[in-house]
Amino acid sequence: MFKDVPPVSPAEVSSALPNTSNTLTPGPSGIPYSIWKQVHKANERLLLSLFTPHLTYGHHPLAIKKANGIVLDKPGKPDYRTPSSFRIILLLETVSKILERLPALRLASPARSLGLLHPNQYGSLPGLSCFDAVATLTHEVRLLQAASFKVSTLFLDVKGGFDNVCANKLATILTRGGVSAYLVAWIKSFLSKRQCRLIFQGSPKVFCLVAVGTPQGSPISPLLLVLDIASLHPSIPQGLAISYVDDLIITVGLHSVRSNIRALQYYFGIILRQGADLGVAFSVPKTELIHWRTPKDRSEVSFAPIVINNMLLPPSQAVRWPGYWLTPTIQSPVHFLRRLAFAEASVATIRQLSAAGKGRSSWCNRKLVFGAILPIHTYGCDLFVPDATTLKKLNSFCHEVLRWTTNCVYTTPLGALYREASLPPISSICNHRRRSAALRLVCAPSEFNPATPGYLSLCPPGTRVVQRTIIVSSLEAPPKPSTLLHGLARRLIPPSTYR
């Protein structure tokens, strides 16, 4: 039993329950989240009295360590006789996932203040997203290009990151870092003696012991993974190492592409040795290389490859990280055309649910468009700006979707079409998301979001952020808010600085 352990409060449980979905498939017991929400609503003390002793004794019950593993085949595989052609979806106990959220909430803030998390880790942390990671990468690339450097980036993927988390090594890292003893004991208990049974046609459905790793789908597993691999970020004088959960990238800027390749091989060797100490390996087939260029660069395109673990990797012309399609010139058409293809595939599937004039109502179709099509269609518009040609294609697809949603004829005026569907135009959605992203960045503390200093360096003189509000000094001519925010979101560095 550990002393001075804060008891679980009703506010902690109340903050953990809204993040759960009643439609998620439960674990082996079959108890959904809706039952636990009703229990907490009827009597708040029941879950408190259930969770507090487990944290006080640093123990995770064996009964809720069991999980069902649903075996699904990966589409497009040439051979399904190997285990790598299948994917396992873990279904954990719902009460266990509620309990796991409590240590995750208590560990996230101390881990940041104690320096256990690398400053350039953007995944699985509150207040950070894919946008922040990609914005930091593009900002660093343009800064190095503005200084007349050739810039190259190596994209790495940790092989089986969740499966390689070792309880004893992670407990040692947390103890040396100064984490509370009861949290360390609970994490060690959570990671040990886990059981899983595979569910597929003809399976015996017998629970087997899982010796290593942290379960995917657990609320605390991503945080434990980023704590485990925090030491894999090398210090780069002219460059940057960024990671999003288990996706690590190394960016260097030197006077030639050949020098960049030698530097990337050197830093990869450092990461490889550090990963060997942690039992972490990298998936070489998923490793990608890109040589960045400015839009005005008229020099010959470099196709210089890099050798990683005796494998020759040529540079890519488009890299997806994480969800953003990046090209050597960091231009938007490739990204939005890929997103458009994904959205068209989604519409083709959804249309089968409702043919013209029958099936689902227009109101239900609108909910499908707003929740399942627009997020795919406009993903990335917070950072990238579609050009006129790409925006025309995006609008054409949007008009087609609106006609299907409202069952209107082809000759319906666009103004009436948008009003009938109660959906904003694509350009308005893009502008709103860019400005919202810019506001969030400039108002975030620089020690909390590493992308914030880059944005604030682009503000006009006299601009400062106080209490989440942009304030401009009276000695300077105040810029128009739309110009300031749109400029921050449109370009991290003005195009005039390119060389």
- What proportion of the chain, given as a percentage, has pLDDT over 90? 51
What contacts 93, CB < 8 A, 6 or more positions away?
A: 26, 27, 28, 29, 31, 64, 66, 67
CB-based contact 199:88 (threshold 8 Å): no
Q: Considering Cα of 334, then 290, then 116, then 2, what sign does the dihedral take?
A: positive
* pTM for this entry: 0.85
**Vertex 323: Cα angle to 321 and 325 (nearest 5):** 65
Nearest of 198, 252, 235 to residue 86 by alpha carbon: 198
pLDDT on residue 359 = 66
Q: What CA–CA distance (Å, rounded) separates 310 from 306?
A: 10
Q: Which of 33-37, 189-193, 195-199, 485-489 has the lowest mean pLDDT?
A: 485-489
pLDDT on residue 460 = 53
pLDDT at 54 over 90: yes
Q: What CA–CA distance (Å, rounded) separates 430 from 284?
A: 36
pLDDT in tens, 131-149: 999 999 999 999 999 999 9
Q: What CA–CA distance (Å, rounded) separates 182 from 180?
A: 6
Mean pLDDT of 107-124: 89
Mean pLDDT of 408-437: 89
- What proportion of the chain, given as a percentage, has pLDDT over 70? 89
Interstrand relation of 194-199 and 66-73 (parallel, antiparallel or unpaired): parallel
CB-based contact 129:480 (threshold 8 Å): no
Query: How far, CA to CA in Å, does 440 sit from each of 386, 443, 445, 466, 468?
Result: 21, 5, 10, 13, 9
Question: Could you tell me which residue, 466 or 440, shows the higher pLDDT?
Answer: 440
Nearest of 154, 112, 163, 479 to residue 321 by alpha carbon: 154
Q: What CA–CA distance (Å, rounded) separates 315 from 299?
A: 16
pLDDT in tens, 185-198: 999 999 999 999 99
Q: What CA–CA distance (Å, rounded) separates 48 from 8?
A: 6
How far does the chain reach from its first CA to its final CA, in angstroms?
63
Q: How confident is the model at residue 70 (pLDDT cuts 50, 70, 90)?
A: very high
**Neighbour-count burial for 11-42, b at 16+ CB within 10 Å, e otherwise:** ebbeebbeebeeeeebbbeeebbeebbeebee
pLDDT at 85 over 90: no
**Vertex 269: Cα angle to 265 and 273 (nearest 5):** 170
Please state whether 19 falls in left (phi above 0), alpha (psi between -120 and 50) or beta.
alpha
The CB-side HSE value for 430 (13 A sphere, CA atoms) comes to 19
pLDDT at 204 over 90: no
Radius of gyration of the chain (CA): 25
**Vertex 166: Cα angle to 160 and 171 (nearest 5):** 140
Nearest of 240, 286, 222, 47 to residue 140 by alpha carbon: 240
